[in-house]
Amino acid sequence: MFLAFAAASFASGFAMRVADPIVLPVAQHLSVDAATAALLSPAYVLPYALGQLFLGPLGDRFGKQRCMQVCGVGLALSLALGAFAASFALLMASRIVAGVFAGGLIPLVLAAMGEKPDLVERQVMIGRMLFAIIGGQMAGSAMAGVACQAWGWRSPLILAAVVAAVGAMALLRMPPAPRVRPADGVARPSVFGLYGLVLRHPKAAWIYACALAEGLLFFCLFPFVGALLQSRSSADAAAAASQAGLVLGAFGLGGLVYALAVRRLIAALGVRRMCLLGSVVSAGCYAAMTASMPWEACAALMLLAGLGFYMIHNSLQTQVTELAAAARGSAVALFAFGFFAGQGIGPLVAGPLIQSVGFGLLLLAVAAGMVVLGQVVVRRIVRPGGVAAPVLGSAARH
């Protein structure tokens, strides 16, 4: 089961980042400008975020495994159609459809893993699943650039379709999951009823607010890293873009370090101290980048910031699986929606602030926000000892 889930999660992450390096070749061959071709990335991410709102409840109502299988097949087919699209409009449409189907994979994978009763073991499993998710995103960017240079811009999309097909086959080969039928006379909850079960929990508002905040704080500067590096060196735009890619890749590498060390970190620190340490380390890294330094030093700081981010993020992901046992798919989907919404809002806020106050003050403000985020997580969400608060009686009975 874990390997099948990992294959599906890897495919979803791979498809998310595969279009980034091929923007210029797509613009050249399909006769659009570069700014228009760059819309291929949000064309995948935004439907991915919005899709959470209905795919999570569908998984709760009709079975998480069945929903993941349909989404896996749909992702592979839509990516294959995009690889052979004859126009930019068709390519955009395929990315939109692919984003919707991809939105039904990782959140439902995390929700299915939330069925494991032991909370600490659940956090370890979810932490290790991050290795597949982050690895897919990193591989999508790296392999797309290599394949495009060797075989043309369509080859990365074909590769993404093949990866998605492997993930879909892994899901289809899983033995059928046992279906839990509602008792006689008990109606299945509606979509709004499922979200009602989730939001009824006293920690729900805090968890979703933190998901939005971490997406905004940690990722608001990502589109401007190239400009930050160029402002401190004599590098031209192309060199700054290359350096920015390596710096941002280091953030993902920090996530891989966390995925490998998650069990040891929890055993040594406990969840509360791990969240506090993660927030302080990340804040320190962002604050340190106010000083002028070579891009290699920025990459090292971003690696540590990525490690700190996943200390917090994985803890929140685990806690969200405890909100409502009968609506885990809806709970995780709403969490993913908030997290990706924060990533979308962050750059819109950071851009004008950089123009008005500069990078230094913005980095310090973000660092302060990270410290506050860590305090909120340990005081309002994670109980002493890292044990989640019990779920509500109605949810537990389901």
Pick the CATH number of 1-173 from 3.40.640.10, 1.20.1250.20, 3.30.70.1050, 3.30.70.20: 1.20.1250.20
Whole-number pLDDT of residue 198:
86
Going by C-beta distance under 8 Å and a sequence separation of 6 or more, which residues neighbour residue 154?
A: 83, 84
What are the tokens at 229? 């590096």
List average pLDDT for each run of 10 residues in the chain, which is 398 residues long: 88 83 79 78 81 76 84 95 92 93 82 66 73 78 75 89 95 75 50 79 92 91 79 70 74 86 90 94 96 92 94 88 78 84 80 89 96 93 52 31
Greatest CA separation for the chain: 72
Whole-number pLDDT of residue 181:
53
* Positions of CATH 1.20.1250.20 in the chain: 1-173, 191-398
Whole-number pLDDT of residue 394:
30
Cα 179 to Cα 177: distance, rounded to the nearest angstrom: 6
Cα 62 to Cα 390: distance, rounded to the nearest angstrom: 26
Whole-number pLDDT of residue 398:
30
Query: Please, what is the angle between helix 237-288 and helix 328-376, to 10°?
Result: 70
CATH T-level topology, domain 191-398: Growth Hormone; Chain: A; (1.20.1250)
Cα-trace Rg, the chain: 21
First to last CA, the chain: 23
Whole-number pLDDT of residue 178:
58
What are the tokens at 384? 């002493």
Is pTM beyond 0.85? Reply is no
DSSP 246-298: HHHHHHHHHHHHHHHHHHHHHHHHHHHHHHHHHHHHHHHHHHHTTS---HHHH
